[in-house]
Structure 1
Amino acid sequence: MTILVTGAAGFIGYHTAEALLARGETVVGLDIVNDYYDPALKEARLARLARRSGFVEMRVDVADRPALEDVFARHRPRGVIHLAAQAGVRYSVSNPHAYAGSNLVGFLNILECSRQARVEHLVYASTSSVYGANAALPFSEQHGVGHPMSLYAATKRANEVMAHSYAHLYGLPCTGLRFFTVYGPWGRPDMALFKFTRAILSGEAIDVYNNGDMRRDFTYIDDIVEGVVRVFDRPARPDPAWDAASPHPDPSSSGIAPFRIYNIGRGSPVPLMDFIRVLEEKLGRRAICNMLPMQPGDVAATFADTSALARDTGYAPSTPVETGVGRFVDWYREYYGV
């Protein structure tokens, strides 16, 4: 099978492409390699993929409709895993216009090209940030997501709604995955674990928001990728139990469209200060903590209810934070020579 993986130079995209290549798929890896964070890290990920048999690299922006149409025409992917996006809650507060091209126009282009190519399954990245002001924990796909707290979250919620419309109109199987705080080797420099590690090794203070009173559902990359592939192998179908006449129809499925939404996380939130203590242990150094108030657009806790994903795919994350952080630290020291 030829599978298009967008955002292949990104953290999750790179690992997903590697997993698909390892099982013998042909992967068309699409990425623009922008400078949201260090392009050298993205190039290094792509260089590793380029050494694998079956990988085809394409430098294309998903917001460039003619170029994307050409990719689909030339490679005729049977499946699409769409992970390209302008990421970042905090960045969206100061750079809102950066999110329109990739997250809205780009996703529309992916939908349109996928339906024209009769793609068998489109799996796309959403985010736990869509839960916004919802305070009921753990976050369930049955909860309301009408109060996003950042533009980033709003664009990802828009993707979910757009996907349902295409699933209904054209029978395009679409599955959205709400990722919860992914970490691990080859991770993103804008994420907490990467920033904390770099600062602690440099003897600099780390910024700890909400005075450390935060919990995150940290999920190791290998567990995430296993879940992505399991979902990809199970194209969405209309849900026969879905009741349009109910006062609260299931928002994570549809009776009129091949459409699903799943949480994908570890399902075991970790207090931020405990996470920092694990990192200190793995680095053998103490952190200097700069305690700060909550940032705009952020939330105090994330906690994934992954029971639906486990029920439908057998998803069972198994990597404890101590193991995952240790693997990240080993990779970081080797990659940066510190």
Structure 2
Amino acid sequence: MKVLITGVAGFIGFHVARALLERGDEVVGIDNLNDYYEVSLKQARLKELQPYGLFRFIRMDIADRDEVAALFAREKPQRVVHLAAQAGVRYSIENPHAYGDSNLTGFLTILEGCRQQQVEHLVFASSSSVYGANETMPFSTADNVDHPVSLYAATKKANELMAHSYSHLYGLPTTGLRFFTVYGPWGRPDMSPFLFVRAILSGQPLKVFNYGQHRRDFTYIDDIVEGVVRCLDRIPSGNANWSGMVPDPASSRAPWKLYNIGNSQPVELLRYIELLEQALGQSTQKELLPLQPGDVEHTYADVTELIRDTGYAPKVSIEEGVTRFVDWYRAFYTDSAKGS
């Protein structure tokens, strides 16, 4: 297939691109390479993809309506994996307009491109953050998600609704994936694994919010990629049994579907830090702080439907995943230091 991946220089985008290339798909990747975090890491990811003959990279901002429309008309992708977004819950409190531009306007340009070129299937990134103030565990796609606690979460909920409108109006098959705390090699430096490892290695006290009592459904990147690819290959056709009298929030008569994608085994944050310390062979002091604005206390994915529909099966334990991440981190930043 010819697949367009937005956010290809990002953490998940890079890994999904590599998986598709390794199975023989053609990948056109776009990214604006913004400086939300170190651009050198994004460029290093792209360098890893360059040897694949079926990969091409185009620097582009998805909020640029004319450029995106021209891209779709020129490339005519069969399927699209939309992962570009302004990420981060806390950053959305400081820079709300960045989320409107990328996550709302940008998503609309992608939907329009898919509609105009009659793309076979659009798979897009949502987030576990849409569960917001929900407290029933595990989080199910059958739950109401009308109470986001951050603007970032609100934009992801909006993406789900926007996709449904296009599926309903134009028959565009769309699948939304609510990612749960993805971690692993080539990850994002603004996320906790990076922040913790850097603090531990430098001997700085760790800032641990919610007094370390967070529970997160940490999901290793390889398991996430498996789920994304399985969903890309499964085009939704609509739920013939869907009822407007008792509406299922995760499906529709239209070719639209939502899934949770996680490990379904929450881990307390202090335990995660303990595993990082063990892998690094050193520990550091912890500064226990209250819950931050916009954060949710716990995440826990019910992935029953994803398993049923696609055969998804997360395989990497938290212990193995943390070790792999630390090994990659040491190797990558040692090599980077040698090259600087």
**TM-score normalised over the length of structure 2:** 0.98
1:289 to 277, 286, 290: 286
The Cα offsets for residues 283-324 of structure 1, whole Å up to 9 and x where unpaired, read as 000122111110000011000000000000000101001100
Query: Which residues of 2 match residues 295-306 of structure 1 at below 5 A?
Result: 295-306=292-303
Q: Could you tell me which of 302, 310, 314 is aligned with 1:313?
A: 310
The equivalences for 1:241-256 within 5 A come to 241-246=241-246, 249-255=247-253
CA distance in 2, matches of 1:86, 1:288: 32
Unaligned runs of 5+ in 2: none
Q: Which residue number in structure 2 is paired with residue 7 of structure 1?
A: 7
Q: Which moved more, 1:301-310 or 1:282-291?
A: 282-291
1:17-96 superposed matches below 5 A:
17-96=17-96
SS at match of 2:148: coil
State the 1:51 CA deviation: 1.5
Within 5 Å, give how 1:197-212 maps onto structure 2: 197-212=197-212
Deviations 1:224-253 (A, max 9, x none): 00000000000111101211122xx10100
Q: List runs of 5+ in structure 1 lacking aligned partners.
A: none
The residue matched to 1:197 in structure 2 has which SS?
A: helix
Q: 1:130 — aligned with what?
A: 130
How far has the Cα of 1:156 moved from its partner?
0.4
For residues 104-145 of structure 1, the C-alpha deviation after alignment (integer angstroms, 9 at most, x for no partner) is 000000000101100000000000000000000000000010
Q: Distance in 2 between matches of 1:236 and 1:53?
A: 30
C-alpha distance after superposition, 1:45-102 (max 9, x if no partner): 0111111120010101000011111111111100000000000000001111110111
Report the equivalent of 1:149: 149
Q: What does 1:171-320 correspond to in 2, within 5 Å?
A: 171-246=171-246, 249-255=247-253, 257-320=254-317
Aligned-residue identity in percent: 61
1:330 aligns with 2:307: no
Write out the 4+ residue segments of structure 1 that deviate beyond 6 Å after TM superposition: none
CA distance in 1, matches of 2:285, 2:51: 40
1:267 partner SS: coil
Aligned length: 335
In 2: Cα distance, 1:180 partner to 1:23 partner: 25
Moved more, 63-72 or 301-310: 63-72
